């Protein structure tokens, strides 16, 4: 009894009940496709987050006001000031810091020739911000340190804001009224893409710090300080330097009592990634359950098949089929079911992965394809083994008498 | 092989312990279903003075054609199942072609069924959805014969039963008689030591019965040992030896023709045909007589 012969019998057995075999395969198909596709969606969303965060610059560190952690013993919180930023920019105390950009943020309505647009993020900062936040201008230029010193009313504009205000016209040189103050646009930023999902990073206007403070926020505290480390590897050193300097500035002695937070983009990245991983695992678990249900479907249908074909098994045994051949035949049938179902499931998942699902472009993980397919085949073997061993264990005389 | 005779009827001369190893020898065979008061003694043989079962003894030699007769409940199907290695006896020995079947495990038993026994069932028992030639190839496939050789031998067997032109037909495309002839081809394709037929004509009309029995007669004439279970006298007429079972015992053992020689139907075909009970044959005889 060669394997080819066994396979032919298995095909014959499945072909005898096409609808039933088809539906059983559908169970496995859905399971495999769900596993691959849902993992791809999870992977796709974490990929999108990763891309968005690395677009913000991985060398960047953000210093913000407030207690570092819930265990912090800080009694009062001193706000971040421009003086703090200046202290951080001292190259002798902070050799790993390349640039420092204090930031104030506000939201205002911009007006241009009757067109109004609410800009979600108006940032007042220093030119170092552009490099630290990985923001590049595509046309025009950045504002300069001179513009900052002289509090000139100039601004660099994001693509979304530019499109909303000027349409297809170039924004360079045009004057926009923001919250009653006229600003001359000197540059337009490159698009950063869809971002992290909540806020459009391209809906922004960046202007010199004193100008924004003067016009909107006042000369009080900063929202945050953006610090650029020398390299991605230097972020850890830079972080400790920032902590040391700011503790001195704020007169704090205990590291557990700090009233500010230093977070790096890589930290943000790993937080987001781990959130995404949980999400992906959850999706995968749901899909795995559906694959398991498909496997139970195989057991069910194979048990029905064995009962239905008891007499045939009896005949085969009477003409000398050994136990192993009967076992092999039914195992081959169940494995074939899962093999074809799994194969079609992989095909369905790969086709499905070409479409955007709930705003996420799925990125298929190759391991999940091999894994899901392999598990499907293993499920066929495992869930088919009980019905098959029941068939093989039938006593010929009883099987022959079965009606 | 020394077997003590325990039959209620004296054994015919050719069954005395002598000569070659018999194809089949059972000794003190007992089969009981259930336990205690509910026990059914399907095969018991004669009882001794204490009321103990002595079991059934039976020896069949190469080339014999034995019909086992009996009413339902006489134990003939039980005997057939044990002889076919489909069921194990409660006690007693069974030697098939010199092999003690009682000591074999399941795998060896499947080999014995495959190589030594060719089954023909009352209800044909063909594998559904399988062409006639594939049906006949099946035992060879289980025996591990190569595809080309398998096809050749299967076609030869189908030709022997006159169904070479029906090789590609499935069971549902064949008449009862044709199905049974496919079953005969399947039974003989492995050249087994014994053909075991359980009421092979029970589901057939008289014409198909004659067709199938003619094939069995020819096979026996060619030296194949045949054990046939029936309750019809018309079928038993074809056998060289008729064993009647009553209540799990051998009640009668009659030899109708010698072991070495053609079966009764081929010994004197005209005389044999003139005694048929089959209506279509009777009519043919009458027409022949009128001429």
At residue B274, the pLDDT reads 80
At residue A234, the pLDDT reads 81
Of A1, A12, A323, the CB nearest to B141: A1
pLDDT for residue B68 is more than 90: yes
With beta carbons less than 8 A apart as the criterion, state whether A14 and A326 touch. Answer: no
Q: Is the Cβ pair B107, A396 closer than 8 Å?
A: no
pLDDT for residue A57 is more than 80: no
Of B84, B87, B142, the CB nearest to A321: B142
CA B57, CA B63: separation in Å to the nearest integer?
19
Q: Is the Cβ pair B107, A315 closer than 8 Å?
A: no
CA B53, CA A213: separation in Å to the nearest integer?
116
pLDDT for residue A69 is more than 70: no
CA A155, CA A184: separation in Å to the nearest integer?
6
Packed helices A310-318 and A323-352: angle between N→C axes, nearest 10 degrees: 130
Coil vs helix vs strand at B21: coil
At residue B285, the pLDDT reads 61
Instruction: Report the 10 Å Cβ neighbour count for A367.
Output: 9
At residue A207, the pLDDT reads 92
Coil vs helix vs strand at A79: coil
At residue B10, the pLDDT reads 45
With beta carbons less than 8 A apart as the criterion, state whether B259 and B64 touch. Answer: yes
Q: Is the Cβ pair B86, A311 closer than 8 Å?
A: no
Which of A306, A314, A345 lies closest to A13 in space, CA to CA? A306
Q: Is the Cβ pair A319, B106 closer than 8 Å?
A: no
β strands within A141-265, DSSP E: 154-157, 175-178, 181-189, 204-208, 224-229, 260-264
pLDDT digits (tens, 9 = 90+) for A116-172: 888 888 899 998 888 887 788 888 889 888 888 888 899 999 888 888 888 888 888
Residues in chain B within 8 Å Cβ distance of A395? 87
> What is the distance in angstroms between the Cα of A376 and the nearest Cα belonging to chain B?
29
CA A386, CA A338: separation in Å to the nearest integer?
15
> What is the distance in angstroms between the Cα of A10 and the nearest Cα belonging to chain B?
12
CA A78, CA A182: separation in Å to the nearest integer?
33
Asked if A3 is an interface residue toward chain B (Cβ–Cβ < 8 A), one would say: no
What is the average pLDDT score of chain A?
Answer: 85
Nearest residue in A to B144, CA atom: A1
pLDDT digits (tens, 9 = 90+) for A169-216: 888 888 999 888 899 999 998 887 655 555 777 888 999 999 888 888
Asked if A324 is an interface residue toward chain B (Cβ–Cβ < 8 A), one would say: yes
Residues in chain A within 8 Å Cβ distance of B84? 318
At residue B11, the pLDDT reads 45
- Tell me what the mean pLDDT of segment B143-162 comes to: 92
pLDDT for residue B91 is more than 70: yes
Helix or strand (DSSP H, E) at A347: helix A323-352
Residues in chain B within 8 Å Cβ distance of A316? 127, 138, 142
Helix or strand (DSSP H, E) at A362: none
Q: Is the Cβ pair A318, B130 closer than 8 Å?
A: no
Nearest residue in A to B195, CA atom: A319
At residue B6, the pLDDT reads 42
Q: Rounded to two decimals, what is the model's pTM?
A: 0.69
> What is the distance in angstroms between the Cα of A372 and the nearest Cα belonging to chain B?
34
pLDDT for residue B41 is more than 80: yes
Which of A179, A200, A204, A190 lies closest to A123 in space, CA to CA? A204
Q: How confident is the model at residue B171 (pLDDT cuts 50, 70, 90)?
A: very high
Q: Hey, which residues 13-72 in chain B have their CB within 8 Å of chain A?
A: none
Please list the alpha-helical segments (H only) found in B222-263.
Answer: 233-236
Percent residues over pLDDT 70 in chain B: 88
Coil vs helix vs strand at A348: helix
At residue B3, the pLDDT reads 41
Of A1, A395, A400, the CB nearest to B142: A1
Nearest residue in B to A312, CA atom: B127
pLDDT digits (tens, 9 = 90+) for A311-352: 889 999 988 888 888 899 899 999 999 999 999 999 999 999
Q: Hey, which residues 162-201 in chain B have their CB within 8 Å of chain A?
A: 186, 190
| Terminal Cα distance for chain A, rounded | 27
β strands within A230-349, DSSP E: 260-264
Asked if A318 is an interface residue toward chain B (Cβ–Cβ < 8 A), one would say: yes
Give the pairing type, strands A97-112 and A224-229. Answer: antiparallel
Residues in chain B within 8 Å Cβ distance of A322? 106-107, 110-111, 142
Place of tokens 């397919």: A373
With beta carbons less than 8 A apart as the criterion, state whether A397 and A78 touch. Answer: no
At residue B284, the pLDDT reads 60
pLDDT digits (tens, 9 = 90+) for A248-288: 888 888 777 788 888 877 677 777 778 888 888 888 888 88
Q: Is the Cβ pair A320, B139 closer than 8 Å?
A: yes
Coil vs helix vs strand at B96: strand
Nearest residue in B to A402, CA atom: B125
């Amino acid at each position: 009894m060669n394997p080819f012969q066994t396979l032919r019998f298995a095909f014959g057995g499945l072909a005898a009940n096409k609808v039933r075999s088809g539906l059983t395969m559908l169970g496995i198909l859905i399971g495999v496709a769900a596993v691959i596709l849902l993992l791809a969606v999870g992977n796709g969303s974490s990929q999108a987050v990763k891309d968005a965060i690395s677009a913000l610059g991985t060398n960047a560190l953000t210093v913000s006001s407030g207690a570092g952690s819930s265990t912090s013993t800080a009694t009062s919180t001193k706000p971040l000031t421009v003086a703090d930023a200046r202290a951080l920019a001292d190259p002798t105390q902070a050799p790993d810091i390349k640039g420092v950009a204090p930031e104030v943020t506000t939201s205002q309505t911009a007006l241009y020739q009757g067109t109004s647009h609410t800009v979600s993020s108006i940032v007042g900062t220093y030119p170092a911000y552009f490099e630290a936040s990985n923001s590049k201008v595509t046309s025009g230029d950045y504002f300069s340190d001179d513009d900052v010193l002289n509090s000139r009313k100039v601004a660099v504009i994001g693509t979304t804001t530019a499109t909303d205000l000027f349409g297809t016209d170039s924004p360079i040189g045009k004057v926009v009224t923001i919250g009653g103050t006229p600003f001359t646009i000197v540059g337009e930023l490159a698009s950063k893409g869809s971002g992290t999902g909540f806020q459009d990073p391209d809906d922004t206007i960046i202007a010199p710090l004193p100008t924004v403070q003067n016009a909107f926020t006042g000369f009080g505290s900063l929202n945050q300080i953006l610090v650029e480390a020398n390299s991605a590897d230097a972020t850890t050193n830079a972080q400790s330097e920032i902590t040391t300097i700011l503790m001195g500035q704020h007169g704090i002695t205990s590291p557990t009592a700090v009233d500010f937070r230093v977070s790096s983009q890589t930290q943000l990245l790993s937080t987001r990634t781990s959130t995404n991983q949980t999400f992906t695992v959850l999706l995968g678990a749901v899909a795995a359950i559906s694959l398991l249900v498909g496997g139970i479907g195989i057991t069910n249908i194979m048990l029905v098949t064995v009962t239905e074909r008891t007499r045939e098994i009896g005949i085969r045994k009477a003409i000398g089929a050994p136990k192993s051949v009967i076992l092999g035949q039914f195992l081959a049938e169940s494995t074939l079911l899962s093999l074809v179902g799994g194969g079609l499931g992989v095909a369905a998942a790969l086709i499905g992965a070409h479409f955007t699902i709930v705003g996420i472009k799925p990125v298929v993980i190759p391991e999940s394809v091999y894994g899901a397919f392999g598990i499907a085949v293993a499920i066929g073997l495992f869930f088919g083994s009980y019905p098959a061993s029941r068939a093989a264990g039938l006593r010929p005389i009883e099987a022959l008498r079965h009606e | 092989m020394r077997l003590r005779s325990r039959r209620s009827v004296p054994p015919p001369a050719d069954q005395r312990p002598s000569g070659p190893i018999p194809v089949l020898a059972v000794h003190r065979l007992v089969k009981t279903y259930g336990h205690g008061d509910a026990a059914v003694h399907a095969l018991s043989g004669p009882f001794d003075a204490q009321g103990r079962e002595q079991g059934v003894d039976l020896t069949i030699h190469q080339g014999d054609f034995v019909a086992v007769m009996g009413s339902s409940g006489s134990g003939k199907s039980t005997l057939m199942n044990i002889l076919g290695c489909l069921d194990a006896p409660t006690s007693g020995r069974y030697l098939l072609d010199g092999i003690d079947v009682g000591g074999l495990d399941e795998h060896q038993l499947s080999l014995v069924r495959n190589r030594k026994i060719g089954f023909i069932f009352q209800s044909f028992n063909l594998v559904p959805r399988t062409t006639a030639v594939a049906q006949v190839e099946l035992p060879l496939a289980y025996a591990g014969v190569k595809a080309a050789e398998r096809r050749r031998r299967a076609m030869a067997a189908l030709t022997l039963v006159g169904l070479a032109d029906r090789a590609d037909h499935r069971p549902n495309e064949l008449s009862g008689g044709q199905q049974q002839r496919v079953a005969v081809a399947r039974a003989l394709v492995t050249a087994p030591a014994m053909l075991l037929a359980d009421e092979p004509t029970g589901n057939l009309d008289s014409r198909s019965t004659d067709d199938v029995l003619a094939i069995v007669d020819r096979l026996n004439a060619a030296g194949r040992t045949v054990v046939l279970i029936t309750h019809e006298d018309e079928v038993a007429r074809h056998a060289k030896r008729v064993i009647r079972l009553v209540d799990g015992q051998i009640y009668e053992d009659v030899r109708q023709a010698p072991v070495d020689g053609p079966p009764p139907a081929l010994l004197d075909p005209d005389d044999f045909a003139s005694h048929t009970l089959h209506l279509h044959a009777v009519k043919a005889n009458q027409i022949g007589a009128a001429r």
